Chain A
């Protein structure tokens, strides 16, 4: 028995480690985008996001202030003093005054620039540059500094994408458009489906089994087939491309899953409650509103989350039924695809926009995961 216990513990270590690796692998890409959205475009373009977590050695080329404006005469020499860095001063490891020898001096050393001209750089970033009138003129002295820069993050990208008044990417508008599409498209099918599901679960009528089978069949019909016929139909009845069309389309496409989920749940409700209510003289309508609907809350919540995630993340239906040539009604997914095409190199904008669009579903996901899992388990055809 010792043997078995021993092998079990080593196996359990292997299990822990492999699971941790798997989780890390699954998380890694998303974390990359999240971290990138908090970096400046220069940072994203020059180093991998994984490097941003640690202090980085960077080679900076800096210039002193303009000597013609700031030099002062002292003991017959001209002197420029000041601070080489704007903002935080990084840890300077080595520096130089020549691009071929950028590691010639340590902080505090004084560089001899010839003919009595000297340049001193201290660890705190202050410098003293001394020389005669000719030497201390023209442009500022260049210094090549190798420094450890601490990890640095900014929320500027989010400000630019969401609140910048000029807002070239239009993400703020797209955010509200997405919300406008999503909320009615989530609520309306629930109600329609709930009544149908009740009829399919608890009312007896000829053709019921056939209808249930039809709903199961419609669950897998690809919505690609519906694009052209429905676009034609929308144009014929005069709503064309717009919110009404996209709401109706999402309602139609969401119904099979809604009916299927809700019916499966309602069938499992105790028969006694419903029969007692009937004996007490309640009508079907009353039973549905007062008993079934409150009891079905978990199933309703499951479907609402599905439909919300699906309509929020949808691209195809919005492209076909909503977005017209004016682009006023664009949604976030469409904006991001557009950004991928036109500004594929501007990772700070892309990453931030993508995260703005991902944030809401992620929040819903983590808050209501219980219902999502329950819905998935009930919704996969057994």
Chain B
């Protein structure tokens, strides 16, 4: 049968089946099992109304259970067994094997880098775009153009950016924008110094200072009495502080590295094969896509800020930057957190971009692609499932946080 015909048939069967199921199951419930007449009419109606929600929910519950809930436990089971030994229980052997692989650590390390850079950059650009396009005549057009990459597939985006990163031999004209721009820089010229040394150093310095401030916010309350902040939060605070210290250390070493860097001026670079930095070239693709999402949500949040607070600040003599950072940003902090966590989840699942652009070569491996490699190239279900569990573990805090918030909101 032709697939299109099969598709049509599936729509008819699927839709017809769903409607039929809902209609007839309700009919049977009302007319056959608990008929609303005779001596027990009242009791029957009540009983039917107790069963009905489950009739409405049943198909969804089956699909959710089978396609999302059951796999979590099955993957956990698979990660503890060995497929070659007929599914025998092997304890943590798969995890141990995974931890011994340098590729896994590379993937984990890269994923951490992705987790910091992509949500931060997307949210920052999104906030910038939302603020700039607020109350401008052509703001809506600008927004829809920045939002556009959301509709483009990761694979399509990979092709788009591969063209940007393309490299030709030195004697030919460059067809990739990045190399064309790169070749404009000369050794020792003032523009090269500004763009390739001073600006990156400034950027990293600002980044380090921001991290230090955030870390200090978390650490500061620990010096007060324990009951006030709750002893349970101390490990979390220490974790944030440690992560912050690591980021600051990385920034400082990078600044020293940039200051003394001997850049290969005048040579076209194959960007995607430069270890460490190629990760950033891949991240750019996801930032490019996710900024639109952040912008849309944050722009709606900015619109929702009460006008009086801004007017009051202006009357009190606040300049536009103060209004933005001290009045607007604190009021939309909740939304910023939501955007951040949503993008974090996207990052944890990122697969297509790495798969299409480098396939994890040149030290760009990430967890999702590592898992795909293990499952479908190496056919090692044990280690593959173990790495899937690592992804699940990383998602779990956000899952708990979301459920907690949703429940709080419902009360």
**Chain A interfacial positions (CB closer than 8 Å to B):** 11, 15-16, 18-20, 22-23, 26-30, 32-33, 36, 44-51, 176-177, 179-180, 183-184, 187-188, 191-193, 195-196, 198-200, 203-205, 208-209, 211-230, 232-233, 243-244, 247-249, 251-253, 255-256, 259, 283-285, 288, 309, 312-316, 319-320, 329, 333, 336-337, 340, 344, 347, 350-351, 354, 357-358, 361-362, 364-366, 369, 372-373, 376-377, 380-382
In the complex, chain B residues whose CB is within 8 Å of the CB of A247:
10, 14
5 A/B residue pairs, CB under 8 Å, sorted by A: A20-B142, A30-B160, A205-B53, A212-B406, A222-B391
Interface of B is mostly: helix
Find out whether the CB atom of A252 lies under 8 angstroms from the CB atom of B155.
no
* Known contacts A195-B22, A354-B156, A357-B153: A176-B68 contact under CB 8 Å: no
Which residue of the partner chain B has the closest CB to A350?
B159
A276 CB to closest chain B CB (Å) equals: 18
- Report the Cα distance A203→B57, complex, angstroms: 11
Contact with A along B144-163 (1 / 0, CB 8 A): 11111111111110111111
Q: B222: CB under 8 A from chain A? A: no
Find out whether the CB atom of A336 lies under 8 angstroms from the CB atom of B159.
yes
| Count of interface residues, chain B, beta-carbon cutoff 8 Å | 114
Find out whether the CB atom of A381 lies under 8 angstroms from the CB atom of B405.
yes
Interface residues of B in 334-385 (CB under 8 A from A): 334, 338-339, 341-342, 345, 348-349, 351-352, 355-357, 368, 371-372, 375-376, 381, 384-385
Interface of A is mostly: helix
* Known contacts A26-B288, A362-B152: A252-B72 contact under CB 8 Å: no
Find out whether the CB atom of B177 lies under 8 angstroms from the CB atom of A22.
no
**Chain B interfacial positions (CB closer than 8 Å to A):** 3-4, 6-7, 10-11, 14-15, 18-19, 22-23, 26, 30, 49-50, 52-54, 56-57, 59-61, 63-64, 66-72, 74-75, 78, 125, 128-129, 132-133, 136, 139, 142, 144-156, 158-164, 166, 172-177, 180, 288, 291, 293, 296-297, 300, 320, 334, 338-339, 341-342, 345, 348-349, 351-352, 355-357, 368, 371-372, 375-376, 381, 384-385, 388-389, 391-392, 395, 398-399, 402-403, 405-407, 409-410
Which 5 pairs, one residue from A and one from B, show the smallest C-beta to C-beta distance?
A252-B67, A313-B153, A196-B60, A365-B151, A229-B74
Find out whether the CB atom of A195 lies under 8 angstroms from the CB atom of B56.
yes
Find out whether the CB atom of A253 lies under 8 angstroms from the CB atom of B68.
yes
* Known contacts A244-B10, A369-B144: A230-B175 contact under CB 8 Å: no
Given contacts A19-B142, A243-B3, 19 further A-B contacts (CB under 8 A): A15-B132, A20-B142, A23-B142, A29-B160, A32-B160, A46-B172, A48-B173, A188-B14, A195-B18, A219-B402, A220-B398, A222-B349, A225-B388, A227-B375, A333-B153, A336-B159, A350-B159, A377-B300, A380-B338
* Known contacts A19-B136, A221-B72, A256-B68: A192-B60 contact under CB 8 Å: yes
